């Protein structure tokens, strides 16, 4: 069971790390810039929330399969396929959890006082320095809350993962997939133990997430 938990955490952490830089950039782009096609971009970002996870997994299977360009590139560089590996699990988890993370970051970016950014620019700070010294610290709580929300979604991903990575014990089987297998085999007590572990992990993550949101709200009001 320890290996199962470790693999689930590994998949969720890698998925979250993949998403963080992209989510921050997209969150800044949508939350702070008046770009053309914003509605289309927001729709594409939210699409994994609206589509059945199995459909998302099917699209990923087409994109990273053996005959796909990404799959062929992986075989050329690493000599191995992406599908039916823990890497595929991480990719599936990152795609499904990305909308939740980026939406929280968009809200955090929109809450930044632009006056402080303009003051920094007037004092000679460049765009990057202003972003990292002013914008990021001001929306820090929202950023961390978004990351945690994405993490807890990644660790609970099931539908897309089972399509693109399969349910292979010791290789791609995460906690949700293991619960599914235990229930199918009638091993209710083992399934219940995994459910309790999964629920506890989700509760702890969500408590921190809500605490950060409340803390950020009080800080902004103060």
Instruction: List the chain domain ranges.
Output: 2-52+83-216
Q: CA nearest 84: which of 192, 158, 150, 171?
A: 171
33 CB-side CA count, 13 A = 12
Q: How far apart are the first and last CA of the chain?
A: 46
pLDDT at 208: 83
Task: Over range 185-200, report the average pLDDT.
Answer: 92
**What pLDDT does 98 receive?**
96
pLDDT confidence of residue 125: 86
Band of the pLDDT at 217, cuts 50, 70, 90? low
Q: What is the pTM of this model?
A: 0.88
Band (206; pLDDT cuts 50, 70, 90): confident
Q: Looking at the predicted structure, is the pLDDT value of residue 16 above 60?
A: yes
What pLDDT, on the 0 to 100 scale, is given for residue 157?
A: 92
Q: Is the pLDDT score of 220 beyond 80?
A: no
Query: Is residue 222's pLDDT more than 80?
Result: no
Q: Mean pLDDT check: name the lowest of 11-20, 48-57, 137-146.
A: 137-146
- For position 121, what pLDDT does the model report? 85
Please give the average per-residue pLDDT across 110-134, as a whole number.
87
Nearest CA-CA partner of 159 in 57, 29, 37, 32: 57
Q: What is the pLDDT of residues 34-85, one digit of tens each?
A: 888 888 999 999 999 899 999 999 999 999 888 888 888 888 787 788 899 9
Question: Mean pLDDT across the stretch 195-201?
Answer: 90
**CATH architecture, domain defined by 2-52+83-216:** Orthogonal Bundle (1.10)
pLDDT tens per residue across span 118-127 = 898 888 888 8
Q: How far is CA 5 from CA 58, 162, 169, in A?
A: 25, 17, 12
pLDDT mean across residues, the chain: 88
Short-list 172, 171, 176, CA closest to 153: 176
Q: Does 88 score more than 80 pLDDT?
A: yes
């Amino acid at each position: 069971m320890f290996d199962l938990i470790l693999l689930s955490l590994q998949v969720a952490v890698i998925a979250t790390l993949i998403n963080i830089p992209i989510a921050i950039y997209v969150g800044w782009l949508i939350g702070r810039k008046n770009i053309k096609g914003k509605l289309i971009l927001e729709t594409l970002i939210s699409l994994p929330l609206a589509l059945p996870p199995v459909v998302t997994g099917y699209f990923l299977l087409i994109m990273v399969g053996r005959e796909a360009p990404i799959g062929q590139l992986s075989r050329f560089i690493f000599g191995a396929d992406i599908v039916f590996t823990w890497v595929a699990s991480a990719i599936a988890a990152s795609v499904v959890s990305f909308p939740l993370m980026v939406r929280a970051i968009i809200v955090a970016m929109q809450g930044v006082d632009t006056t402080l950014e303009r003051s920094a620019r007037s004092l000679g700070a460049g765009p990057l320095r202003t972003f990292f010294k002013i914008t990021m610290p001001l929306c820090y709580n929202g950023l961390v809350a978004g990351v945690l929300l994405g993490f807890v979604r990644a660790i609970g991903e099931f539908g897309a993962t089972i399509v693109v990575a399969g349910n292979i014990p010791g290789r791609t089987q995460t906690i949700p997939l293991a619960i599914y297998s235990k229930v199918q085999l009638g091993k209710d007590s083992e399934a219940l133990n995994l459910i309790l572990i999964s629920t506890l992990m989700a509760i702890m993550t969500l408590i921190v997430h809500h605490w950060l949101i409340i803390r950020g709200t009080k800080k902004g009001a103060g």
